[in-house]
Structure 1
Amino acid sequence: MQQSPKKLGLTAKIFIGMIAGIITGAFLQFLFDDSGDLQFSVFGIEVSTYAVLVEGIFHVLGQIFINSLKMLIVPLVFISLVCGIANLSDPSKLGRLGGKSVALYVATTALAITVAMVAAIIFQPGAGVDIPSDATYAAATAPALSQVIIDIFPSNPFAAFTNGKMLQVITFAVLFGVAMAMSGEPGKRVATLFDDLNTIVMKLVTILMNLAPYGVFALLAKLFAQIEVSTIFALGKYFALVFGVLLFHAFVNYSLILKLLSGLNPMPLFLKMRETVVFAFSTASSSATLPITLETATKKLGVSNSVASFTIPLGSTINMDGTAIMQGVATVFIAQVFGIDLTLSDMMMVVLTATLASIGTAGVPGVGLLMLAMVLAQVGLPVEGIALIIGVDRLLDMTRTAVNVTGDCMVACIVGKSENEFNSAVYYDPEAGVADEEVDLDDFESTSIHHKAD
């Protein structure tokens, strides 16, 4: 009997969508320019094929996909974190979770920018780069540290939900979960409701993941149809160095940290992060990728929900390893372009400022360039130099987001292992979580029919 052909898995479909989107976008950029070389008439109106595809179809599909992911962030974080905190058997464990998570995120960020600056000093990416006479950049104002601390605590939790203030959502979820755990029978009844809600929201994540190949295709097709390839070539040495250090930090530094602090083989981590990395690369947003990152940590990597629901949302907000690498290379690059020598004390100040700023500017729009402006001002470098690298920052932003989400899951594994909230069998099982990615429409139909019969 002939066997039916094996269906493509979700991972393969997402990778196909990514490659197809890159090829399609590159082909459109080669075939058309922004004015649209190929015109056609609709009801007497001239329409550009380029505009219809890139600014129309691809833009709409991509934004719907991103908005759908963002739609899940606040309910997923709040419900999952409340469930995790309420199920903690030892209340003192919450303080350990927070301390370990923040310490690891800060330490990896400091390591990232240190490695980046050493690499930039060795390879000299700014040597021989001409300074454009019109290079300007207006730096946004960074919030005061006191205001950052105040803003962690919401005056109105519903406003925090509406505005997506993740640190405030995390704070309220932790307090709500603690109060629920201390409330006896009423708390247990509400905890049952939250467990059911968590199951439903995670199923919604699975549904959206099955639409990911189309969303990834649309996002990358639009990006590669618009990206300025000439800019990348002009800053080729800078681009290649940042990209290379990002890969080094992800595969070498993370492997060593994971092995030393948990004893785990890093290979399963990288293999199981494939889908999450593609999501992060496509959206260039750790927050938008958060639902997928959390599902990967719990269902594929074996981290318990009580740990992952705390460390992953916190990491998506304050973990800035990829951004720190960009800042390290960019600082040395701009200094070399303007012919300014950085002293050892200047370099140490860059490391300290960028590491602290990774927490202090969490959640601020355009956080990468804002942090870089703070770093440059701290060591007396011209902030206008940021204008030199903006042209290639979009593509690098996608790559450093992929590094950030990998770091989030690595920290979750280490913290989970140290707290005995980790399932090694799931971590080493290559098929773990794969079955959960499938959406069974037949089951939906049979359930619907059953309800109608009742």
Structure 2
Amino acid sequence: MPSNPSSLTRRLLAAVWRILFPIRWLLALLWRPVRWVLFLPPFRWCGRKLRSFAHRMAPVIRRLLHSILTWVIGAILLALLLGSIRIGGHPLIPKPVGNVFATFSDLFSQFLSFSIPLIIIGLVTPAIADLGRGAGKWLGITTALAYASTLFAGFLTFVVCAATFPRLLAGTSLADVSKPEGALSSYFTVEMPPAVEVMTALLLSFVLGIGLSMVPRGVLRKGFIEFRAIITRLIERLIIPLLPLHIFGIFLNLTYTGAAGAVMKALLRVVVVVLILEVVILSIQFLTAGLIGRRNPIKALLTMLPAYLTALGTSSSAATIPVTLRQTKKNGVSDAVASFTVPLCATIHLAGSTSKIFSFAFAIVLTQGLHVSTTQWIGFIFMLGITMVAAPGVPGGAIMAATGLLSSMLGFNDQQVALMIATYIALDSFGTATNVTGDGAIAIIVDRMAGGSVNDEGDPENVRELSFDGMAYLHAVSVEGVVSPEELEASAAATRSGE
């Protein structure tokens, strides 16, 4: 209270106090019996249980708040809600304010177009250089199995989509979504032309990757590995964090034109097909692994269920490696084979992500009037499989690595690529869960082919590969480093001896 209040202010404060004092006295009087009731044993027990539950849920809530999935879904729902509310026939968010979000989305799309060739070169080149070095036959066999599984998922999805989507999405036309009438407009735009075209970046990545695998390790390879670290940080710390705001602008734009309902209706139908497809893919993977590895496929699949559930929460293959490794060993896979295949497949085996990307791409092509031939779809599947090998094992990494193929091979524009990113990330955890669960099936097959035990059969390189502790290596070596096979083995041995 001021030291020298005016007479009017003093009288007003006195009047307010006279009104509030009886209310305060009444509340204090009512609180006494309520407090007595709350301290009864049943209520005290309920209070302890609630505090215990809140304590257990705190890490889960923190993880959800830090998850890109939560922010993307929140951005979509908030855009649909705010864009649909009308006051006096006008949207709740005035069009000048909406144009601010449209301006950001336009600038972000330009930056994404600029970054796509860099992402391709930074991820694909060192991946091909590492896998093409020929470190031994088990690396080649595991990579071939992972690529074959990814191709199978892609072609199975192609057959299912071609058979079901024309009927499922009949009458759904979203051809005008990219530039609808009355849409929000950007206040200004900044041209950000990419350094090279997307297809040029792909060809350059293959040429450089194969070339680096044929020459001794040197400064050039180290430079590409450091460039990969830069691109990974670009995705993790700039592109992924800004995606929710970009997606908010895209869906707010759709609500202003009335196209949001049609988009969501079509995408929900696709989601149902995708989830069923992923169950079918896992069933076929473990049925094949059971036949080859002479194990019960149902029991093996159920054993991998904890890894599936963990991936639903993390949306990251790399973060789920410890659980995947533990469950793979419970399936009877030898420690050496499990420690080699699980960390490797967490990076190169993305069958679930491939199925999801293809399904949504097929739906967008079908509903937006694009024309893609069967030959183009087949080529897209083969290229997508290679791109998935190079994708980083972080949330959203697969779709970011595939954006170049969507624009170069399927002709997607910025709006369609943004719609693909939004729908993919909204279901990112399910694709990741399918990926890591399928890693267990590949480990069973490799274990069977390796005879279930480590033996060199005259090839010391096989002993080095199969006895390599992948978890120890991942713990000890950062992505920026350049690690030779000898250094890799020494790092793993030093980590094991220190435990």
Q: Give the alignment's TM-score, normalised by structure 2.
A: 0.48
Give the secondary structure class of the aligned counterpart of 2:321: helix
**Match of residue 116 from structure 1:** 157
Q: Which residue of 1 aligns with 2:327?
A: 296
Give CA-to-partner distance per residue, 1:82-141, whole Å, 9 cap, x none.
Answer: xxxxxxxxxxx97332122111101110010111111111222654042423599x9996
Aligned-residue offset at 1:385? 1.8
Quote the offset at 1:246 in angstroms: 1.4
State how far apart, in whole Å, the 2-side matches of 1:380 and 1:162 are: 31
Structure-to-structure mapping, 1:15-34, within 5 angstroms: none
| Percent of matched pairs sharing the same residue | 23
The aligned residue for residue 419 of structure 2 is: 388
Match of 1:235 among 264, 267, 273: 267
Structure 2: how far apart are the matches of 1:289 and 1:164? 22
Task: Report the counterpart of residue 247 of structure 1 in structure 2.
Answer: 279
Cα distance 1:380–1:233, how it changes in 2: closer, same or farther (>3 A)?
Answer: closer
2:446 maps to amino acid:
V
Q: Structure 1: which 5+ residue stretches go unaligned?
A: 1-12, 35-92, 166-222, 424-454
Question: Residues 286-320 of structure 1: CA distance to partner in whole angstroms, max 9, x if unpaired?
Answer: 0111122122222x122222211221111011111
Residues 323 and 102 from structure 1, CA distance in 2 versus in 1: closer, same or farther, beyond 3 angstroms? same
Distance 1:163 1:413, change over 3 A: farther
1:384 is displaced (CA, Å) by 3.9
**Residue 239 of structure 1: CA displacement?**
1.6
**Cα offsets for 1:205-260 (capped at 9, x unmatched):** xxxxxxxxxxxxxxxxxx9xx9999875562112222222112111x321332133
Secondary structure of 1:133's partner? coil
> Displacement of 1:155 after TM fit?
5.8
Aligned to 2:486: none
1:145 counterpart (206, 209, 220): 206
Contact 1:315 1:408 in 2 (8 A): yes
- Matched residue, 1:70: none
| Structure 2 counterpart of 1:106 | 147
Write the letter of the residue equivalent to 1:377.
Answer: S
Residue 389 of structure 2: which of 325, 348, 359 is its match? 359
Give the AA of the match of 1:338.
Q
Please name the residue that 2:363 is paired with. Answer: 333
Contact map agreement 1:294 1:308 (CA 8 A) in 2: yes
Match of 1:410 among 441, 455, 462: 441
Q: 1:97 to 1:342 in 2, by over 3 A?
A: same
Cα pair 1:318 1:362 within 8 Å, conserved: no
SS in 2 for 1:100: helix
Q: CA deviation at 1:267?
A: 1.5
C-alpha deviation, 1:342, in angstroms: 2.9
Check the 8 A contact 1:116/1:328 in 2, yes or no.
yes
Decide which structure has the larger Cα Rg and report it: 2
CA positional deviation for 1:369: 3.7
Match of 1:97 in 2: 138
Q: SS of the counterpart of 2:318?
A: helix
Q: Which amino acid aligns with 1:331?
A: A
Instruction: Say whether residues 1:374 and 2:405 are aligned partners.
Output: yes
Whole-angstrom CA distance in 1 between matches of 2:416 and 2:375: 21
User: For the structure 1 residues 161 and 291, does the alpha-carbon distance in structure 2 shift closer, same or farther, using more than 3 Å as the test?
Assistant: farther
Q: Report the counterpart of residue 116 of structure 2 in structure 1.
A: none
Give the secondary-structure state (helix, strand or coil) at the position aligned to 1:286.
coil
Q: Partners of 2:173 and 2:294 in 1: how far apart?
A: 44
Deviation of 1:367 after TM superposition, in Å, equals 2.7
The aligned amino acid for 1:332 is: F
Aligned to 2:376: 346
1:145 partner letter? F
Q: How many residues align?
A: 286
The 2-side partners of 1:405 and 1:355 are apart by 16
Q: Deviations over 1:319-372 (max 9, x none)?
A: 110111022212321221222343221222122211222224456973324315
Whole-angstrom CA distance in 1 between matches of 2:380 and 2:268: 24
2:452 corresponds to 1:421: yes
Q: Which amino acid aligns with 1:242?
A: V
Is the alpha carbon distance of 1:150 and 1:399 closer, same or farther for their aligned partners in structure 2, counting shifts above 3 Å?
Answer: farther
CA shift for structure 1 position 151: 7.6
Distance change (3 Å), C-alpha of 1:369 and 1:126? farther
Instruction: Note closer, same or farther for the CA distance 1:151–1:286 as it changes in structure 2 (3 Å cut).
Output: farther
Does residue 352 of structure 2 align to residue 311 of structure 1?
A: no
Are the aligned partners of 1:304 and 1:416 in contact in 2 as well (CA < 8 Å)? yes
Given residue 247 of structure 1, which amino acid in structure 2 is its aligned partner?
A: V
What is the aligned partner in structure 2 of residue 76 from structure 1?
A: none
Return the TM-score normalized by structure 1.
Answer: 0.52
Alpha-carbon distance in structure 2 between the residues aligned to 1:396 and 1:390: 10
How far the C-alpha of 1:405 sits from its partner, in A, is 0.4
What is the Cα deviation at residue 263 of structure 1? 2.6
Residue aligned with 1:235, SS: helix
CA distance in 1, matches of 2:211, 2:319: 25
Distance 1:161 1:344 in 2: 36
Q: Compared with structure 1, are the counterparts of its residues 126 and 302 closer, same or farther at alpha carbon in structure 2 (3 Å cutoff)?
A: same
Q: CA deviation at 1:422?
A: 6.4
- 2:436 partner letter: V
Deviation of residue 375 (structure 1)? 4.5
Change (3 A) 1:316 1:268: same
